[in-house]
Amino acid sequence: MFSERLRALRTGQHLTLEGLASELNKMFPTDKQHENTPAQIGNWERGVRTPSYLEVQKLAKYFDVTMDYITGLSENTTYDLGRLFISDKDLTFNGQTISSADRYEVYQLISGYLHGKENRSVKPGFQNGFQEQLDLNINDN
């Protein structure tokens, strides 16, 4: 399961074996003798070799998944955004760090959207109910 998950995570980010090795070496610097290599990662993906606990931990951190997920012990890749926004984890959007004030604003926007969604009604006559309308209690006089 590990080898399939690693390959899926790597190819899902359009990384080559060389690219992933380079990224890991930048993110987790070590001496030349212990650097990750494309051949090493390829062996992990083919199931020829098994990475150490520390290597699995590095991969999980790099791909921002749990070690249970990457090793196949868990299928859960769902994140609760509410918990994520109040956590102490650094959050980024398109490469920009989201400040704590912005995190709060985005949290409020999502919360307001979901709360308001309960008060929306579907306008009759629209196919499959995709067109929604907010009831603003405005008289048409």
Please report, as a single letter, which amino acid is at residue 67.
M
Q: Could you give the CA distance from residue 97 to residue 90 in angstroms, rounded to a whole number?
A: 7
121 pLDDT band, cuts 50/70/90, is low
Q: Do 64 and 94 have their domain in common?
A: no
Number of domains in the chain: 2
Residue that terminates a domain, selected from 71, 95, 121: 71
Containing structural domain, residue 44: 2-71
Pick from 1, 4, 12: which is nearest to 63 by CA?
12
Whether the predicted pLDDT of 124 surpasses 80: no
Is residue 141 situated within a structural domain? no
pTM of the predicted model as reported, rounded to 2 decimal places: 0.54
Q: Do 46 and 96 have their domain in common?
A: no
Is residue 139 situated within a structural domain? no
